[in-house]
A and B are shown apart, each in its own frame.
Chain A
Amino acid sequence: MSAADPDRAPGTARGGVHKAERHDSALKHTTGEAVYIDDMAEPAGLVHAALVLSPVAHGRLAAVDLTAVRALPGVVAAVTAADIPGRNDIAPIRDNERLLADGVVEYAGQPVAAIAATSLDVARAAAKKVALEIEPLLPVLTLDEALDRRSLLYPPSVVARGDVDAAMKGAPRRLSGSFRVGGQEHFYLEGQIALVAPGEDGDLIVHSSTQHPTEVQHIVSRVLGLEFNQVTVMVRRMGGAFGGKESNASWVAAAAALLAYQSGRPVKLRLPRADDMVATGKRHAFLYRYEVGFDDDGRVLALDATMAADGGHSVDLTPGVLGRALTHVDNVYWLPHVRCTGLACKTNTVSNTAFRGFGGPQGVVVMEDAVGRIAQALGKTPEAVRAVNFYGEGTNDETPYGQKVEDNQIRRCVAQVMRDAEWERRRAEVDAFNRASPVLKRGLGLFPLKFGVSFNIPSMNQAGALVHVYSDGSIRLNHGGTEMGQGLFVKVAQIVAEVFQVDLDRIRVTPTSTGEVPNTSPTAASTGSDLNGWAAFAAANTIRQRMAAFAAIHFDVPEEVIDFRDNRVCVARPGDNRAMAFGELAKLCHAGRVSLSSTGFYKTPKIHWDPATMTGRPFFYFSYGAAVAEVAIDTLTGETRVLRADLVQDCGRSLNPAVDLGQIEGAFAQGMGWLTCEELWWDKQGRLRTAGPSTYKIPGSRDVPPIFNVRLLDDAPAREATIFRSKAIGEPPLLLATAVWTALKDAISSVVDHTMPVHLDAPATPERVLMAVRRLQEIVAAG
Chain B
Amino acid sequence: MSDHIAFVLNGRPVTATGASPAMTLLDWLRGSARLTGTKEGCAEGDCGACTVVLEDATTERGGPCAPVNACLLMLGQIHGRAVRTVEGLRGADGTPHPVQRALAEGDGTQCGYCTPGIIMSMYAFAVGGEPAQPELIHDALAGNLCRCTGYRPIVEAMARVAQLPEARIAAAATVAASMPEVPAGPVFRTAAPAGQPDGARFDVPATMDALLALRRDHPDAWLLAGGTDLGLRVSHDREVPAHVVYVGRVPELQVIAATPGRLRIGAAASYARLLPQLDGALMPFGAMVRRLGSRQIRAMGTIGGNLGTASPIGDTLPVLLALGASVHLRSAANGTRAVAIDDYFVGYRRTALRADEIIEAVEIEVPARDEIFHVDKVSKRRDQDISAVLGAYRLRIDGGIVRAARLAFGGMAATPARARQAEAALVGRPWSDATVAAAAAVMEGDFQPVDDWRGSARYRQVVAGNLLRRLHVRVTRPDVALEIDRL
**Which residues of A pack against B, CB within 8 Å?**
22-23, 25-36, 38-39, 73, 121-122, 124-125, 186-191, 237-242, 272-274, 437-440, 442, 484-487, 632-634, 636-641, 643, 658-659, 661-662, 665-670, 677, 679, 681, 689-690, 692-695, 697-704, 706, 708, 765-767, 770-771, 774
Q: Which residues of A contact B114 (CB under 8 A)?
A: 189
Specify which of B107, B147, B484 is in contact with A23 (CB 8 Å cutoff). Answer: B107
Complex Cα distance, B101 from A32, in Å, reads: 12
Specify which of A31, A121, A703, A706 is in contact with B134 (CB 8 Å cutoff). Answer: A706
Specify which of A30, A438, A487, A698 is in contact with B115 (CB 8 Å cutoff). Answer: A30
A10 to chain B, nearest CB (A): 25
Query: With an 8 A cutoff between CB atoms, is B316 at the interface?
Result: no
Annotate B7-31 by CB proximity to A: 1 below 8 A, 0 otherwise.
Answer: 0000000000000000000000010
Report yes or no: B236 in contact with A692, Cβ–Cβ below 8 A. yes
Name B152's closest neighbour in chain A (CB-CB). A665
Can you offer 18 A-B residue contacts whose CB atoms are under 8 A? A28-B112, A29-B115, A29-B116, A38-B30, A38-B40, A121-B198, A187-B147, A189-B114, A238-B111, A240-B148, A439-B470, A484-B111, A637-B463, A641-B382, A665-B150, A666-B110, A701-B146, A702-B382
Complex Cα distance, B36 from A465, in Å, reads: 31
Complex Cα distance, B109 from A28, in Å, reads: 10
Complex Cα distance, B479 from A437, in Å, reads: 9
Binds A, one of B257-265, B322-330, B453-461: B453-461
Specify which of B149, B238, B381, B482 is in contact with A700 (CB 8 Å cutoff). Answer: B381
Specify which of A35, A191, A666, A700 is in contact with B145 (CB 8 Å cutoff). Answer: A700
Query: With an 8 A cutoff between CB atoms, is B222 at the interface?
Result: no
Report yes or no: A641 in contact with B36, Cβ–Cβ below 8 A. no
Query: With an 8 A cutoff between CB atoms, is B103 at the interface?
Result: yes
Annotate B95-121 by CB proximity to A: 1 below 8 A, 0 otherwise.
Answer: 010011101110111111111100100
Report yes or no: A641 in contact with B484, Cβ–Cβ below 8 A. yes
Query: With an 8 A cutoff between CB atoms, is B137 at the interface?
Result: yes
Residue from A486, A668, A681, A695 whose CB has the most chain B CB atoms within 10 Å: A695
B306 to chain A, nearest CB (A): 16
Given A693-B46, A700-B141, does the pair A632, B148 have CB atoms closer than 8 Å? no
Given A33-B37, A189-B147, A442-B487, does the pair A636, B481 have CB atoms closer than 8 Å? no
Q: Which residues of B contact A34 (CB under 8 A)?
A: 112
Report yes or no: A693 in contact with B36, Cβ–Cβ below 8 A. no
Query: With an 8 A cutoff between CB atoms, is B452 at the interface?
Result: yes
Q: Which chain B residues numbered 354 to 392 have a C-beta less than 8 Å away from chain A?
A: 376, 378-386, 388
Report yes or no: A700 in contact with B383, Cβ–Cβ below 8 A. yes
Query: With an 8 A cutoff between CB atoms, is B155 at the interface?
Result: yes
Report yes or no: B86 in contact with A31, Cβ–Cβ below 8 A. yes
Given A23-B107, A439-B473, A701-B138, does the pair A32, B87 have CB atoms closer than 8 Å? yes
Report yes or no: B238 in contact with A239, Cβ–Cβ below 8 A. no
Report yes or no: B49 in contact with A189, Cβ–Cβ below 8 A. yes
Given A27-B96, A666-B149, A703-B381, does the pair A438, B111 have CB atoms closer than 8 Å? no
Q: Which residues of A contact B44 (CB under 8 A)?
A: 273, 692-694
Question: 5 additional contacts, CB 8 Å, given A30-B101, A770-B462?
Answer: A121-B197, A485-B111, A692-B42, A695-B386, A702-B142
Q: Which residues of A contact B42 (CB under 8 A)?
A: 273, 692-694
Given A121-B238, A240-B148, A774-B462, does the pair A22, B103 have CB atoms closer than 8 Å? no
Name B118's closest neighbour in chain A (CB-CB). A30
Report yes or no: B466 in contact with A637, Cβ–Cβ below 8 A. yes
Report yes or no: A668 in contact with B150, Cβ–Cβ below 8 A. yes
What are the nearest 8 A-B pairs in CB distance?
A32-B37, A485-B111, A239-B113, A29-B112, A665-B150, A485-B110, A681-B453, A669-B150
Complex Cα distance, B138 from A699, in Å, reads: 12
Query: With an 8 A cutoff between CB atoms, is B480 at the interface?
Result: yes
Complex Cα distance, B240 from A774, in Å, reads: 48
Complex Cα distance, B384 from A442, in Å, reads: 25
Query: With an 8 A cutoff between CB atoms, is B47 at the interface?
Result: yes
A239 to chain B, nearest CB (A): 3
Complex Cα distance, B158 from A701, in Å, reads: 12
B287 to chain A, nearest CB (A): 14
Report yes or no: B381 in contact with A440, Cβ–Cβ below 8 A. no
Complex Cα distance, B141 from A699, in Å, reads: 12
Specify which of A32, A239, A484, A636 is in contact with B119 (CB 8 Å cutoff). Answer: A32
Report yes or no: B380 in contact with A30, Cβ–Cβ below 8 A. no
Given A189-B41, A487-B110, A701-B151, does the pair A26, B462 have CB atoms closer than 8 Å? no
Report yes or no: A439 in contact with B481, Cβ–Cβ below 8 A. yes
Report yes or no: A30 in contact with B481, Cβ–Cβ below 8 A. no
Q: Which residues of B contact A242 (CB under 8 A)?
A: 147
Q: Which residues of A contact B86 (CB under 8 A)?
A: 31-32
Complex Cα distance, B152 from A666, in Å, reads: 9
A423 to chain B, nearest CB (A): 18
Q: Which residues of B contact A770 (CB under 8 A)?
A: 459, 462-463, 466
Residue from B116, B145, B453, B473 whose CB has the most chain A CB atoms within 10 Å: B453
Report yes or no: B453 in contact with A695, Cβ–Cβ below 8 A. yes
Query: With an 8 A cutoff between CB atoms, is B247 at the interface?
Result: no
Query: With an 8 A cutoff between CB atoms, is B75 at the interface?
Result: no
Complex Cα distance, B453 from A689, in Å, reads: 7
Name A633's closest neighbour in chain B (CB-CB). B484
Q: Which residues of A contact B36 (CB under 8 A)?
A: 32, 35, 38-39
Q: Which residues of A contact B99 (CB under 8 A)?
A: 30
Name A124's closest neighbour in chain B (CB-CB). B238
Query: With an 8 A cutoff between CB atoms, is B154 at the interface?
Result: yes
Q: Which residues of A contact B378 (CB under 8 A)?
A: 637, 639, 766
Given A124-B238, A702-B142, does the pair A690, B381 have CB atoms closer than 8 Å? no
Report yes or no: A702 in contact with B113, Cβ–Cβ below 8 A. no
Query: With an 8 A cutoff between CB atoms, is B89 at the interface?
Result: yes
Annotate B178-198 by CB proximity to A: 1 below 8 A, 0 otherwise.
Answer: 000000000000000000011
A486 to chain B, nearest CB (A): 7
Given A23-B110, A32-B38, A121-B238, does the pair A662, B148 have CB atoms closer than 8 Å? yes
Report yes or no: A632 in contact with B463, Cβ–Cβ below 8 A. no
A598 to chain B, nearest CB (A): 30
Q: Which chain B residues numbered 374 to 431 have a C-beta less than 8 Å away from chain A?
A: 376, 378-386, 388
Name A641's closest neighbour in chain B (CB-CB). B484
Q: Which residues of B contact A30 (CB under 8 A)?
A: 96, 99-101, 103-104, 108-109, 115-116, 119
Given A637-B467, A694-B46, does the pair A486, B381 have CB atoms closer than 8 Å? no
Residue from B41, B137, B142 whose CB has the most chain A CB atoms within 10 Å: B41
Name A708's closest neighbour in chain B (CB-CB). B152
Report yes or no: B110 in contact with A765, Cβ–Cβ below 8 A. no
Report yes or no: B148 in contact with A666, Cβ–Cβ below 8 A. yes
